[in-house]
Structure 1
Amino acid sequence: MIRAIRGATTVSNNISEEILEKTSSLASEMIKQNAIKAEDVASVLVSVTADLNATFPAKAIRNLDGWTFVPVMCMQEIDVPGSLAQCIRIMMTVNTTIEQDKLNHIYHHEAKKLRPDLSND
């Protein structure tokens, strides 16, 4: 079955190193919590808010061990007034046998506000 797994995090600054570190941490936890293998991933979409442009966060995912050939694309999130700033969102589309209500969607830092019903705390 093809399923999508969501995750989001925030950064404090529009700095390449922080964007890459937080993206890597988020993606790694999504992978671990859902037992994802790179060869089971169809694609990964990464969006960032308009205030983040220091680097492409997809680089952090491509640098994960075994993830070189997974298709990853970055895009800008819709700039809705009053929305969460400095936010990175990930959507992984994967082949999995995990039931939809058993997937672990991961939210770090201020992004926990986006989906408190799915927060992993």
Structure 2
Amino acid sequence: MNVRGIRGAITVEANEERPILDATAELVERIVAENGISPEDIGCVFITVTDDLDSAFPARAIRQMAGWELVPLMCALEVPVKGSLEKCIRLMVLVNTDKRQDQIRHVYLGGARALRPDLSKA
């Protein structure tokens, strides 16, 4: 068993609580589905948001998901690089798995596909 990192990102249209929480839940659900993992496999989740998203803690959406109550979560601000993608939520999910690095499926949704077109599905 190894610890692997699964990256994911999604953009939201507005700095409002519901879009932030809904986008976070969507991203987590897709990461879980694409990688065949469960909350029990997760060591922790690091969450960053761009500085234009301050209406909700994305971790709240994850804590409300069934089975995720004990998974360690941490929110932080993304480095504010000029010209970078706005209204973006990023995740780094550390998972215990037997999968090889090349078997991990990273998930980029919405405008965040531009961050890693090499990993984003069309």
TM-score, normalised to structure 1, is 0.98
Question: How far off is 1:120 after superposition?
Answer: 2.4
Counterpart in the other structure of 1:36: 37
Corresponding position: 1:3 with 2:4: yes
Counterpart in the other structure of 1:78: 79
For 2:86 and 2:32, locate their aligned partners in 1 and report how far apart those are by CA, in whole Å. Answer: 25
Structure 1 segments of 4 or more deviating over 4 A? Answer: none
For 2:35 and 2:121, locate their aligned partners in 1 and report how far apart those are by CA, in whole Å. Answer: 12
For 2:95 and 2:67, locate their aligned partners in 1 and report how far apart those are by CA, in whole Å. Answer: 15
Return the letter of the residue paired with 2:116: R
Percent of residue pairs identical: 46
For 2:16 and 2:10, locate their aligned partners in 1 and report how far apart those are by CA, in whole Å. Answer: 14
Return the letter of the residue paired with 1:78: V
Paired positions, count? 121
Q: Which runs of 5+ in 2 are unaligned?
A: none
Corresponding position: 1:57 with 2:58: yes
Confirm or deny: 8 A CA contact 1:105 1:120 kept in the other structure.
no
For 1:92 and 1:109, locate their aligned partners in 2 and report how far apart those are by CA, in whole Å. Answer: 19
Return the letter of the residue paired with 2:27: L
Return the letter of the residue paired with 1:20: L
**SS of residue paired to 2:81:** coil
Question: How far off is 1:40 after superposition?
Answer: 1.3
Corresponding position: 1:96 with 2:102: no
TM-score, normalised to structure 2, is 0.97
For 2:121 and 2:3, locate their aligned partners in 1 and report how far apart those are by CA, in whole Å. Answer: 22
Confirm or deny: 8 A CA contact 1:47 1:76 kept in the other structure.
yes
Q: CA RMSD in A?
A: 0.6
**Residues 10-62 of structure 1 deviation map (CA, whole Å, 9 limit, x = unaligned):** 00100000000000000000011111111111100000000000000011111
Question: How far off is 1:98 after superposition?
Answer: 1.2
**Residues 39-86 of structure 1 deviation map (CA, whole Å, 9 limit, x = unaligned):** 111100000000000000011111111000000010000000000000
